[in-house]
Amino acid sequence: MTSLNDLRKQFLDYFGTRQHAVIPSAPLVPQNDPTLLFVNAGMVPFKNIFTGAETPPAPRAVSAQKCVRAGGKHNDLDNVGYTGRHQTFFEMLGNFSFGDYFKEGAIELAWEFVTRDLGLDKTRLMISVHPSDEDAVGMWKRIAGVPDERIVRLEENFWAMGDTGPCGTNTEIFYDHGPEIEGGPLARVRDGDLIRVDAGGGRLDVHVDPAVLLARAPAAAPPSGATLGRALFEPMRRLVGPADRGASIFTPSVPELAEALR
């Protein structure tokens, strides 16, 4: 089974060999940002670059940023244990362009990484775009050959942090778990996006939840959807109680306790 350390290295190496400066994870407590108690997204250490207050270290960057989401606008605490993808502490893998490539380049890189380096089946991948973003639709068709039936238009494909500031449409790659999941295509991608491309306000970043990607790796993606819990939380789950007690990793109380131990 692919380990989280292997996946992190694979992501950083992929973009590092494509002229991205590999940036170490910033501390969880922001050093020069009084607006946040904790870093809650991979782009936080680059906020001053996006707003023009600082000069970027390179035109392209990639990082594996440790994040906490336990309050404020991004609060995942109440979802822990009720979905297979929410944690309050996680790493966000992200590649960033500071005035270099834009949406087309980001789509090319994301698609190559997911289909070639991770080896995911192209026919199981779905794309979401904002209803107004026909440019993205055209790029997915031209670059990746994604057919119309695997592209969905969602109003939620719009990134913004507040009423003012950088914002814009985004596009996402999802993994289709197959027709055995009831509810149609959107229900079958219930565990969240693999990769999201955010573009707006003259900025662009591409970010990845490594835990979600780990659950999609070809050697670690059984239909049960439990790979994420087994791979990342099993050691903590065993501390919560004996394995023969029969509690699922997705029984809310088990991941809640495992999350606290982690």
Q: What is the mean pLDDT of the chain?
A: 73
Alpha carbons 41 and 207: distance in angstroms, whole number: 9
Residue pair 7/214 in contact (Cβ under 8 Å)? The answer is: yes
Per the structure block, which two tokens stand in for 15? 């973009």
Range of weakest confidence among 76-80, 115-119, 120-124, 241-245: 241-245
Helices 227-240 and 253-261 meet at what angle, rounded to 10? 80
Q: Which phi and psi angles does 239 have, rounded to 5°?
A: -75, -25
Report which of residues 18 and 191 the model is more confident about: 18
- Residues 6 or more apart from 5 whose CB is under 8 A from it? none
Report which of residues 215 and 194 the model is more confident about: 194
Q: How confident is the model over 2-27, as a mean pLDDT?
A: 89
pLDDT of residue 248: 53
DSSP assignment of 148-173 equals: GGGEEE-TT-EEESSSSSSEEEEEEE
CATH 3.30.930.10 intervals, the chain? 4-220
pLDDT of residue 239: 63
pLDDT of residue 242: 52
pLDDT of residue 211: 41
Considering the entire predicted model, what is its pTM?
0.77
Q: How many CB atoms lie within 10 A of CB 53?
A: 9
Q: Indicate the pLDDT class of residue 36, thresholds 50, 70 and 90.
A: confident
Range of weakest confidence among 47-51, 106-110, 161-165, 179-183: 179-183
Dihedral sign from CA coordinates of 201, 203, 206, 209? negative
pLDDT of residue 185: 59
Total residues belonging to the chain: 262
Q: How confident is the model over 7-11, as a mean pLDDT?
A: 87
Per the structure block, which two tokens stand in for 97? 């362009």
pLDDT of residue 62: 93
> Looking at domain 4-220, which of 3.30.930.10, 3.90.105.20, 3.60.15.10, 2.40.40.20 is its CATH number?
3.30.930.10
How many helices (H) and strands (E) would you count in the chain? 8, 9
pLDDT of residue 19: 95
Q: Indicate the pLDDT class of residue 142, thresholds 50, 70 and 90.
A: very high
Phi-psi region of 52 (alpha: psi -120 to 50; beta: other; left: phi over 0): left
pLDDT, tens digit, 9 for 90 and up, residues 152-175: 998 988 887 667 777 788 888 887
pLDDT, tens digit, 9 for 90 and up, residues 81-132: 555 555 667 788 888 888 888 889 989 998 999 899 888 889 888 898 999 9
Residue pair 211/64 in contact (Cβ under 8 Å)? The answer is: no
